[in-house]
Amino acid sequence: MTTERVTEDDNPVWVSLALAVVLTTTFFRVLVIVSSPLPLFFDEAQYWTWAQDLAFGYYSKPPMIAWAIAGTTALCGDGEACVRLSAPLFHGGTSMVVFFLARALYDGRTGFWAAVSFALLPGISLSGMIVSTDVYLLFFWALALLAIIRAEATNRWLWWGLFGGALGLGLLSKHAMVFFLLGFIVDSLWRRQDEPLWQRGRFWCAIGLAVVIYFPNLMWNWSLGFPSYLHTGENININGNLINPIKALEFLASQFGVFGPILLACYLGLIGMLLMRRSNGEVLTDRQRQLFSYSLPILVLITVEAFLTRAHANWAATAYVAATVLVAAELIQRNRTNWLKGSLAVHVVAAVVLYNFDLIARTLDVPITPGLDPARRMRGWDHAGDWASDLQREMPDATLLFDDRKVMSALTYYVQPHPFDAVMWNPTGKRNNHFEMVTDIRGSEGEDFLYVIRHDWPERAGSSFAESKLIATFRSRAYSGDVLELSAYLLSDFKGYK
C-alpha cells in the first residue's frame, strides 16, 4: 500500500487549547438556548412528538433525533432548551472529532485550527440553536471519516469497528449518510493504493456491522411501505422544468453563509489550483485527494440537484467536515494563518449578532420585520398554544383536529395538557406526513372536533358534520403585520368523510 505516513503531534497543548475553545463555545450556546429560548420550530416540535413514542423509524426521518430528544428531555424536562440541548453538545463533539481527524492527517496545530474553525462555522452557530437531524449526521460522518483513515493506516479492528458503527449510526441519523460511500468510491478511484480498502476483509466486516445497526430502521420502513424512502424521493422533487440556473446560483451563494465567506473562497481557490495542477501535470498529495474526495463530490452533487430541482442550504453540510481540515491545512502550510484568524473573527461577530438579534435590534432602535428576522417562522406558536389551550378547556369533549402538519406539530407541543389524541383531517387517506400515517378520524362518527386551521373554511368539510361554527381566531403581532393567523371551528357530530 502506497500512502503517506499518518503523523501525529504528541504535544498536549494543541488538544488542550482546542478542547478549551470548543467547551467554551458549547457552554455559551447552551447558555443562549437556556436563557432566551425561542419557540420551537414546527419541525422541532414534530421531533419532540416522535420522542414521546420511541420507535426504529418515523415518517420522514430515521430515529436518532427522537432518541436524542427523549434522552435530554428525560434529564431536564420538556422545555424548549431541553428539547434542543443535544444540538450544541453534539456539535462540540463533532468539533473535537475534527481535531483528531486533522491531527491524524497533519499535526496538532492543524487540528486546533480545524476544530476551532469548524466549531465557529456560521452554519454550526445557527444549527446549535435548533435541533435537527444534521446535528447527529455531522458527528457520525466526522467519526466515520476519522475511523476509516486510522483503519487504513493501522488495520486495527478497533478502527474498523468504529467505522462500521459510525456509518450505521449515521444512517440512523439521516439517510444522507449514504453519500459517505460516494466519497469512499471517489477516494478509492483517485488515490493510488497497492491494496484498495474494498479488497480488505475487515472493510466488509465493518460494512456488515453498519448494516446490522441500520437493519431495524430498514425493517420498520419495509413493514409500512417504505415511507421514509418515499419521502426522500419526494424531497428530490424531479419534475417540471429541469433547468434552474438561478436556484443553483442561490444554493452556491447560500454556502458562503454556511461555510463562511473566507473559508469558502479559499476552498474554491483550492479547486481552481486543483484544475491548474491537473493541466500542468502536477500531482496532489494523498491527503489532499482524500479530503477533496469527501467534500467536493457532495458539493457538486447538491449543486446539480439545485440546478435540476432545488436544494436547501444545509444539504451539503457534510462536505465541510473534510473541507475545513483541507482549508486549515493549506493555509497553515502557506503561512496564511491570518486568513484563519480573520475568518474566525467574522464568524464570532456573526454568532454574536445571531444570538443577540432581538437585543441588538432594540438597542439600535431597528424595527424587527419578518424580512429581517432569522427566527420569524418560530414566532407566535407559544402564544397560539395558550390560545388553543383555553379553547380546549372550554370544550373538553371536542378533539383537536388539524389539516396542516406544521400547525399540528407546534400545537401538540404548546397546548397544555398536550393533546396526544389530536387527529389529522385526511379524506383521501393518503400518507403525506407523519400525522396522516398515525392518526385517522374514521370510526369517530358522532364525535365533536375543534378544527384549527390557517386558511379559510373549506366548504367541502362542512358536509361531513351536522354543524360547523367559527368560535375564535388568533393573530400573532410579533411585528407591525400579522405573521401567524389561526381560526378555530367547532365541528359537531362527525358523519364520516363525504
Same structural domain, 146 and 18:
yes
| Higher local confidence (pLDDT), 294 or 463 | 294
Average pLDDT over residues 232-242: 63
- Nearest in space to 487 (alpha carbons), one of 461, 496, 479, 463: 461
Q: End of a domain among 298, 321, 355?
A: 355
What is the pLDDT at residue 480? 59
Q: Are residues 315 and 414 in the same domain?
A: no
Q: Is 329 in the same domain as 388?
A: no
Rounded to an integer, the average pLDDT of 149-153 is: 94
The answer to whether residues 423 and 468 belong to one domain is yes
Crossing angle between the packed helical segments 201-223 and 157-171, to the nearest 10 degrees: 20
Handedness of CA 413, 414, 415, 418 (dihedral sign): positive
Q: Where is average pLDDT lowest: 72-76, 229-233, 328-332?
A: 229-233
What's residue 5's pLDDT?
42
Same domain for 381 and 336, yes or no, is no
Domain presence at residue 4: no
- 364 lies in some domain: no
Tell me the three state secondary structure of residue 453.
Answer: strand
| pLDDT (average), residues 347-354 | 92
The pLDDT assigned to 238 comes to 55
Of the pLDDT bands very low, low, confident and very high (cuts 50, 70, 90), residue 230 is confident
Where does the pLDDT of residue 280 fall: very low under 50, low under 70, confident under 90, or very high at 90 and above?
A: low
* Cis geometry, peptide bond prior to residue 417 (ω within 30 degrees of 0): yes
Are 173 and 104 in the same domain?
A: yes
pLDDT digits over 469-480, tens only? 999 999 887 665
Closest Cα to residue 251, out of 305, 294, 187?
305
Would you say residue 372 lies in a domain? no
- Mean of pLDDT over the chain: 90
* 115 CA to centre of own chain: 19
Nearest to 177 by CA among 258, 298, 96: 298
212 has a pLDDT exceeding 70: yes
Residue 29 scores a pLDDT above 90: yes
Q: Are residues 272 and 222 in the same domain?
A: yes
pLDDT at 43 over 80: yes
Whether the pLDDT of residue 11 is over 80: the answer is: no
Q: What are phi and psi of 362, to 5 degrees?
A: -65, -40
Comparing 73-87, 230-244, 337-351, which segment has the lowest mean pLDDT?
A: 230-244
Domain count of the chain? 2
Q: Which of 322, 355, 388 is the last residue of a domain?
A: 355
Q: Which amino acid appears at position 470 of this protein?
A: L
Residue 365 in any domain: the answer is no
pLDDT the model gives residue 98: 98
Q: Which of 14-18, 162-166, 323-327, 431-435 has the least mean pLDDT? A: 431-435
The answer to whether residue 324 is domain-embedded is: yes
Q: Is the pLDDT of residue 239 over 80?
A: no
- Assigned domain for 369 exists: no
Q: Give yes or no: residues 114 and 243 share one domain.
A: yes
Binning pLDDT at 50, 70 and 90, where does residue 2 land? very low
pLDDT in tens, 407-426: 999 999 999 999 999 999 99
Say yes or no: 415 and 288 in one domain: no
Condensed to tens digits (0 to 9), the pLDDT of residues 69-110 reads: 999 999 999 999 999 999 999 999 999 999 999 999 999 999
pLDDT tier, 227 (very low <50, low <70, confident <90, very high otherwise): confident
For residue 1, what pLDDT is reported? 37
Domain range spanning residue 89? 12-355
Looking at this protein, which amino acid is placed at residue 334? R
Asked if residue 446 has pLDDT above 70, the reply is: yes
Residues 126 and 38 placed together within one structural domain of the fold: yes
Decide if 368 is inside a domain. Answer: no
Q: Are 348 and 381 found together in one domain?
A: no
Longest Cα pair distance anywhere in the chain, in angstroms? Answer: 79
Is residue 9's pLDDT more than 60? no
pLDDT higher than 70, residue 6 = no
| Average pLDDT rounded to a whole number, residues 121-133 | 95
Note the pLDDT of residue 282: 62
pLDDT in tens, 261-277: 999 999 999 988 877 76
Sequence-ordered list of residues with C-beta below 8 angstroms from that of 408, at least 6 positions apart, any chain: 402, 422, 424, 435
Phi, psi of 364, rounded to the nearest 5 degrees: -90, 0
**Cβ contacts of 309-313, under 8 Å, gap ≥ 24:** 309/236, 309/237, 309/238, 309/239, 309/242, 309/244, 309/247, 310/237, 310/244, 310/247, 311/247, 311/251, 313/123, 313/251, 313/254, 313/255, 313/257, 313/258
pLDDT exceeds 90 at position 342:
yes
With respect to residue 414, please indicate whether it lies within any of the assigned structural domains.
Answer: yes
Residues 426 and 487 in one domain: yes
